[in-house]
């Protein structure tokens, strides 16, 4: 999907800031993996994509509250899973390393998603 620079930046700003790092360049995704702003849509150790928290295949859409920055490997590993999904990469210090664990989308995010898509979740 082709996103506008405005949406790409809005999604970037929702990613987790890390103390001591320039948040215009470095952040972490919801799985704890490092992402780098200029590596958007790049298959790189710090590459990232825009994830639909509630998958389009299940009725999600491009509502800004349904979008988040996610390391490209985590986005592909997550696929159409919700609210539990498999993580492919997480951070260890200032590096990313492969992992194989499942995580649950946090409760606050789930509440927001459920309020938007409650009819589609039945």
Q: Does the pLDDT value for residue 120 go beyond 90?
A: no
What whole-number distance in Å separates Cα of residue 102 and Cα of residue 108?
Answer: 18
Q: Look over the chain and give the mean of its residue pLDDT values, rounded to a whole number.
A: 96
What three-state secondary structure class fits 113?
helix
Of 95, 97, 90, 94, the C-alpha closest to 70 is 90
Q: Does the pLDDT value for residue 121 go beyond 80?
A: no
> What are the domain boundaries of the chain?
5-121
pLDDT per position as a tens digit, 32-74: 999 999 999 999 999 999 999 999 999 999 999 999 999 999 9
Whole-prediction pTM value?
0.94
């Amino acid at each position: 999907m082709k996103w506008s620079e405005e949406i790409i930046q809005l999604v970037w700003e929702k990613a987790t800031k890390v103390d001591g790092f320039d948040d215009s360049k470095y952040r972490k995704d919801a799985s704890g993996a490092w992402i780098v702003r200029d590596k958007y849509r790049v298959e790189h150790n710090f590459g990232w994509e825009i994830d639909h928290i509630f998958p389009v295949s299940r009725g999600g859409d491009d509502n800004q509250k349904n979008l988040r920055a996610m390391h490209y490997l985590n986005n592909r590993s997550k696929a159409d899973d919700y609210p539990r999904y498999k993580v492919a990469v997480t951070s260890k210090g200032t590096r990313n390393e492969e992992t194989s664990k499942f995580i649950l989308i946090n409760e606050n995010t789930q509440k927001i998603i459920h309020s938007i898509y409650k009819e589609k979740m039945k």
